[in-house]
Copies of this chain bind each other. A is one copy, B any other.
Amino acid sequence: MRARELRTADLTEACTPLRGEKLSPQRAAVLADAFKALGDPVRLRILNLLLTAPEGKVCACDLVDPVGRSQPTVSHHLKVLREAGLVTADRRGTWIFYSAVPERLEALTRVLNPGHQPAAVVGGAA
């Protein structure tokens, strides 16, 4: 029933009221879907591989060995992460490169730490 990709607006809106305000049931549902997608060790390791990749993106084919799962299994987990809005895909010819979506991760970070400032703000002229 949740085979839809979260729109950017969903998570952007969802994270807005978290700096000290109460989380509505509707917004909590959107965010919970994203957290649920991370409730799997293989998906966490895939996300970690994307976040720690030198160029910030990894070909799906290069995830199979490090994760130790079959290509179909890796593809399934990537699909779950994409549907949760956590990962985006970029096709280059026959290859598909995946990268994490920083603003999505930032939205989840603000749930865990309502006072969290994005790195760009913390580090700079704000």
Contacts and interface: CB of A to CB of B under 8 A. Distances in A.
Interface string A112-126: 111111010010000
Given A28-B41, A108-B112, A113-B106, A48 B22 contact: yes
Interface string A8-31: 000000000010111101001101
Contacts of A29: 41
A69 to B, nearest CB: 10
Contact of A22 (B18, B20, B21, B52): B52
Q: Is the interface of A mostly helix, strand, loop or mixed?
A: helix
A105 interface: yes
Interface in A38-59: 38-45, 47-49, 51-52
